[in-house]
Amino acid sequence: LVREVGLNTEELLADGIDIIVMKAQTEHHLGFIYADLCLKLSNTPIENLDEGEGKGKVFKKMLLERCQKEFEQDQETLIAEIEKLDEEDKALKIYGMRKAYIGHMKFVGELYRVHLLSDKIIHFCIQDLFGNPEEPDEEKLACLCTLLTSIGPQLEESATQSTKYAKYMKKYLKELKALSNMPDKLNSRIRFMIKDLLEMRANGWTARRETEKAKTIAEIHEDAARDEAKAAKGGKGGKSSSSNRGSVASQMKKSSSSNSGGAPKADDGWEVPKNARRVATDADGWATVGGGGGGGGGRSAPSRGGNKTPPPQGKSPSGGSMGGFAALNSGNSKAEKEKKKKEKEDKKMEKEKKAAKKAAKAAARSPTASEGATDFSPPASPNKDSPSKASAAGGAMDEKTFKTKAKSIVEEYFSIVDMKEATECVQELASPDHHWCLVTESIDIAFGKKQKECEMVGELFVGLNAAGVLTTEQLEKGLFDLIEFLTDIEIDVPLAGKWLAIVMAKCVISGALTIGMVSRAPEMFLTGGTAAGFAVKLMAAVKNEADDAKLSELVAADSFDVTTLAQNGEDVAALLTAAEISL
């Protein structure tokens, strides 16, 4: 195939991949054929690309890069360009972008089906489609249901072989069940799609009704003949509907036969025109057509039907959104958004005032200091800028609720970078026993972003420690909870060790932590053979943040000896030399 169409340079191969991806995005029902084509190309050696023994390696790499490019598009730039269009063109453009996005996600699922994408990548896509559970995206959830319908059995099988992926699947099912019971946030169409998916999974991934799929002409003829036979068997006294179907099937068969002129059938089930040259087929069902060089050749599709759910019919609900395209939805103009935002803030203010009054009344009924009370503090005054500021009056919260609120605080901190606001929000949660959870949640969110956010997390910890909100013990507990599983985390986030070292380095330099805390890490980490390597990363991060003199001072002050952490033959001297550290 590659030789026939002349895909013998990276430029031509890239153009070919672009065409395949764009076709898959717009022709959802044929996604399985394009995935099979990609599999065929990945198993075909390509001349002039110096692939060595890794047949198809270049193609796979370029295909993955092209698919990833879709996730990295600058949505703000796209939205700015679309806003310049008139209303009619704008609606058409938005429709095209939504269709392409859903088609791309289905194509990704098909690539996973043929094992061209790893479990790690497909789980990343699934998590992206889930989005923010507090503000679910209906279009993404519809796409998620379609994707899981097609690859659910394969994901389930993979989960039986990996504890990590088994946890992911449990999490997905739990979130889907919760989403299916959110009538206030999702319309009935999406909720029933989710319920159908859960029911299908409970029935061993067997759909209640057979889904439509692409068929070859031979398969259409077989269906027509089957319908005709059923009608004939029923006789004249049979049901009219059966008779009608038989009549239509008969006419369809006759029409097809007359149009084809009795054309012969190829081995793969596809009819060949009378004047066409019979071609040989490979063992995998693909036939080479055209001859010689010069791009006159190609491949016919394999004789098999698709097995994927067709794209959902009908218009999307007006309240639906599409990831970065949410700003473009009808009825969601800036003025309306501002109005809704103001109404939401007013409601929150009203709730906070009521909570504060209620707390004040309760405090008034409690004993005063002269009557034996040892600890009394007035309720926090409501503040419209912080949705969590009324929580303090209600006392400490449970760990799960604290984590949810901590995530909101961290995301807000990333947006406005206001240390004072973040400090006040954490204080007013009034749950110091759970402050270590803030450490794990902050780093977990930062790991899903970039190094810049990890640096911001380090600065947040330093600020909270300086304000007396986050103690060294709480900081260490949260960090140890992550460090214990750092090796596993690095499978999904390869730079996790480096980024965690950057976070800790800022804390070490400020005095919130000591550099020797690594020696007190959980035993599983210390005996895993990576402790010395991580300690060197931490020392390198301290050096980059400050200088050699500061690093030497901190190491000496804590009497820290990195060589004591060496396990399983770790060469500490080589690690220090590579990091350009000289103590």
Q: Is residue 247 predicted with pLDDT exceeding 50?
A: no
Please tell me which of 8-12, 335-339, 349-353 the model is most confident about, judged by mean pLDDT: 8-12
Encode pLDDT of 281-293 as tens digits: 555 555 554 444 4
Confidence at residue 501, expressed as pLDDT on a 0 to 100 scale: 94
Dig out the tokens for 570 from the structure. 């770790």
Q: Which residue has the higher pLDDT, 333 or 423?
A: 423
Cα radius of gyration (the chain): 31
Q: Is residue 244 predicted with pLDDT exceeding 70?
A: no
> Looking at residues 32-42, what average pLDDT do you find?
87
**β-sheet bridge partners, residue 298:** 289
Dig out the tokens for 530 from the structure. 């990576």
Encode pLDDT of 417-474 as tens digits: 889 989 999 998 889 999 999 999 999 999 988 898 999 999 999 999 999 999 999 9
Confidence at residue 539, expressed as pLDDT on a 0 to 100 scale: 94
Confidence at residue 479, expressed as pLDDT on a 0 to 100 scale: 93
**Weakest mean pLDDT among 57-61, 217-221, 264-268, 448-452:** 264-268
**Weakest mean pLDDT among 79-83, 147-151, 231-235:** 231-235
**Weakest mean pLDDT among 10-24, 25-39, 246-260, 551-565:** 246-260
Q: Residue type for 429, please? A: L
- Read off the pLDDT band of 214 (50, 70, 90): low
Confidence at residue 226, expressed as pLDDT on a 0 to 100 scale: 85
Q: Is residue 276 predicted with pLDDT exceeding 60?
A: no
Q: Measured between alpha carbons, how far is residue 191 from residues 128, 146, 178, 182, 259 in Å?
A: 19, 13, 10, 8, 46
Indicate the average pLDDT of the chain.
Answer: 75
Report the chain's terminal Cα–Cα distance, integer Å.
60
> Looking at residues 525-540, what average pLDDT do you find?
90
Give the angle subtended at the CA of 471 by the CAs of 459 and 482, to the nearest 5°. Answer: 70
Cβ 116 vs Cβ 42: under 8 Å: yes
Confidence at residue 324, expressed as pLDDT on a 0 to 100 scale: 44
Q: Is residue 218 predicted with pLDDT exceeding 90?
A: no
Q: Which residue has the higher pLDDT, 539 or 231?
A: 539
Residue 332 CB burial class (10 angstroms; 0-12, 13-18, ≥19): middle
Long-range contacts of 564-568 (CB under 8 A, 24+ apart): 564/519, 565/518, 565/519, 565/526, 565/531, 565/532, 565/535, 566/532, 567/526, 567/527, 567/528, 567/529, 567/531, 567/532, 568/529
Cα gap 220→253, rounded to integer Å: 9
**% of the chain at pLDDT higher than 70:** 67
Task: Kindly give, in sequence order, each residue whose CB lies less than 8 Å from that of residue 496, ignoring residues fewer than 6 positions away.
Answer: 447, 486, 489, 490
